[in-house]
Structure 1
Amino acid sequence: MESHIKRMFVRFVLLIIMMSVCGVRAWTGEIHGRVVCDVCGDSSIGPEDHVLEGAEVAVLCITKSGEVLNYQAFTNAKGIYTVAETMPESDRWDACLARPIRSFHEHCTHLTEGAGVKFKYNHPSGYFHTVRPFIYRHPSVPAYCM
């Protein structure tokens, strides 16, 4: 058993050495954004507005090699979603489209117009791209907003 573990460790070390000698470099990218409920529908952030936890967002990216990658993310308690990937430098993201899919909030379910965001991803490894917030609204404006 012990010799089997030693052989696996040696193979792992050899693989790492081969990757570094052959010039295979890893690249890491990250996309994040926020989903917000604009309660009064006034397009400004006020005390009545809040982030949406659990909102679903899709991110579609095309790599430099032409591969299409589709990601799905949900917002956390701060209304932030994150998509991250590590891949070879030659296959890194070239362009992406982020779009909201659905809000699970019982009142804030109407998406504002122009919700999808297309962008070129030209950041070096380890950097991120921030997408503008996606805004949902109430179907009818509450009385306290008027």
Structure 2
Amino acid sequence: MEMKGKKIVMVMVVLLISVFGVSGWTGEIHGRVVCDVCGDSSLGPEDHILEGAEVAVLCITKSGEVLNYQAFTDAKGIYTVAETMPESDRWDACLARPISSFHEHCTHLAEGSSAVKFGYSHPSGYSHTVRTFVYRPVNVPTYCI
């Protein structure tokens, strides 16, 4: 298709969207994953973020569709899931859960870090912050005792 034909098709798509009032919705979920090195349930200078930790986010939409996302933490220990969809299909409720830590010394999930369920009622363009997921080492270092 030549350039003029492509422009006509794009104009028609834009007109159809504006005539039928299809509105988009964008949502975002993010959270953090850390290593509680001393296993003392308080974050201190010995603790650190976990880069590359895997988190699953499962959401059900207003229309009943189930969406499953997979995210990994960045260099700041933060994972993010974002989606743009029609307003009628937006997220209604979600469940976030840690899957694994790839840090060789911090691989055991702390108590209370198994999963978080939450409703998602934010308007388009807003985000939901999930509480921090915490891993602990198999063996607590001697300097913690």
Question: For the superposition of Structure 1 and Structure 2, which TM-score range results when normalised by the shorter chain?
Answer: over 0.9
Matched residue pairs, number? Answer: 144
Alignment partner, residue 93 of structure 1: 91
The one-letter amino acid of 2:18's match is: S
Deviations 1:9-40 (A, max 9, x none): 11111101110110100000000000000000
What TM-score, normalized to structure 1? 0.97
Alignment partner, residue 6 of structure 1: 4
Pairing 1:133–2:132 present: yes
Identity %: 76
Q: CA–CA distance in 1 between the matches of 2:133 and 2:120? A: 19
Alignment partner, residue 47 of structure 2: 49
Deviations 1:61-101 (A, max 9, x none): 00000000000000000000000000000000000000000
Moved more, 124-133 or 13-22: 13-22
Uncovered stretches (5+) of structure 1, i.e. residues with no partner: none
The one-letter amino acid of 2:14's match is: I
Q: CA–CA distance in 1 between the matches of 2:44 and 2:7? A: 57
Equivalence map 1:14-53=2 (5 Å)? 14-53=12-51
| CA deviation after TM superposition for structure 1 residue 104, in Å | 0.2
What TM-score, normalized to structure 2? 0.97
The one-letter amino acid of 1:113's match is: E
Uncovered stretches (5+) of structure 2, i.e. residues with no partner: none
Local SS of the residue matching 1:10: helix
Alignment partner, residue 69 of structure 2: 71
| CA deviation after TM superposition for structure 1 residue 113, in Å | 2.5
CA RMSD after TM alignment = 0.8
Q: CA–CA distance in 2 between the matches of 1:112 and 1:143? A: 19
Give 4+ residue runs of structure 1 displaced > 3 Å after superposition. none
